[in-house]
Chains A and B, each alone.
Chain A
Amino acid sequence: MALTLSVYACYPGGAEYVDELDTSISKYDNNYSWSALDGKTYALPENIVHVKNGKEVDPPKEGPHDEAILKQVKSELDAQGMIDATATAQDTALAVAIVIIEQNNSGAAWVPGGGWWGGYYPGYPGWGWGGYYPWYPVYYSYKTGSVVIEIADYANKNTVEETMPLIYTGVLDGLIQGSESYAGQRINNGIDELFNQVPFN
């Protein structure tokens, strides 16, 4: 017992601060022509979907970071040379969905997504994902928060099945601790990291 304790006591480190565990992950469909984003249109959702402990928050409630996230994602897509479809009254090439997940449990999992898209994307209610199935990496020994940004190839939608191919998932994962302004700064840094990763960099 004493040996176990002494061995444990001198076992090395790991993270000391909450933001040292923040993780930004991009996964993308490499069959999509990412080099041709310039000039393509995108449509952002009107609202961010909030999911708490596996259930969509209903009725929808705006979170403290929603406005800043939408603004930053718009700015990042504009920086890619893309055009906001809603501002130009064009049909969009790409559709963007954003989900914020709060989880308070124990364990770790790839939580399958689904059903968090429908109903709020302007003009295209009730559509599901096509292509591959969305996934949300969630580690939840602690209270964790995830911001999930998904992009679908709306131009190649399947009108019969009412699905559109998912071509990108960007996920920020971190512990929910500290003030809202601290969280806001971490989300801002994370979105910046996502758009500095493949396939955008």
Chain B
Amino acid sequence: MNFFKSIIIVALTILSLEVSAQNKTNAYYGMALPMGDTKDYINPASFRGGNIEFEKLVNPNVGVGLLIGWNTFYEAKDRATYPISNGEITSKQYRYLNGIPIQATGKYYFAGDDAVIRPFVGLAAGTYYMEQRVDNGLFSSSNKGWTFSVAPKAGFLIPMSYSTSLAVSVDYSTSFKSSDLPQQNWLGINIGFSWDY
């Protein structure tokens, strides 16, 4: 519970920062390549995902924000035989993984807002609401819960107008093992827009 309180405190701190700086809203369409344990569970890339980030620039090069999003992974396995307690089950198997991140973010922009391209690096940390579901034929089982997560990221903005930039980033998301859920990892590729106001 203290973990969620910390997130709320960080979020409120971000929202209450009284600085004469810009705000940004970044919205991304997100693809994801499963890595590590996630790749063992679901191999295909995910083309279903997205996130939105509200960011405050505390100085011209440093932004802090709050990110929420959604990624979903899916794989239909061929009909096969799987072990169960004192037996076996033969069926097609449908595997799902849904992750909803709620994370605090920090970014450093290497160039000013008048640059042609603005590279950045950053880190997101917070929680994922994860749901891992396996359907065997007509039978379904799932594990769900909150996990701790971090995602280092790097990307760039290409200003297109006074207030709008094209935004591209990659991140490596890790959702740590919990009592109900195994660790998950994936490489996110995000394409979207960033608006200044």
Contacts and interface: CB of A to CB of B under 8 A. Distances in A.
Interface residue tally on B, bucketed by range: 20 to 34
B88 interface: yes
A144 B137 CA distance: 12
A65 interface: no
B72 A12 contact: yes
Interface residue tally on A, bucketed by range: 20 to 34
Contact of B87 (A20, A23, A25, A139): A25
B74 A13 contact: yes
A89 to B, nearest CB: 33
A166 B35 CA distance: 45
Contact of B89 (A7, A11, A12, A24): A24
B135 A7 contact: no
Interface in B129-150: 135-139
Nearest to A170: B87
B137 to A, nearest CB: 3
A128 interface: no
A23 B90 CA distance: 6
Interface in A2-23: 7, 10-15, 20-23
- The interface centre, meaning the residue of B79, B89, B90, B139 with most chain A CB atoms within 10 A of its CB, is B90
B76 interface: yes
A11 B90 CA distance: 25
Contacts of B92: 15, 20-21
A139 to B, nearest CB: 4
A198 B88 contact: yes
A58 B86 CA distance: 34
A23 B48 contact: no
Nearest to B95: A12
Contact of A22 (B70, B76, B85, B91): B91
25 contacts: A10-B48, A11-B48, A11-B72, A12-B74, A13-B94, A14-B94, A14-B135, A22-B137, A23-B90, A23-B91, A23-B138, A24-B91, A25-B84, A25-B88, A26-B89, A27-B84, A27-B87, A28-B86, A29-B86, A108-B139, A139-B138, A173-B137, A174-B137, A174-B138, A196-B81
Interface of B: 48, 70, 72, 74, 76, 79, 81, 84-92, 94, 96, 135-139
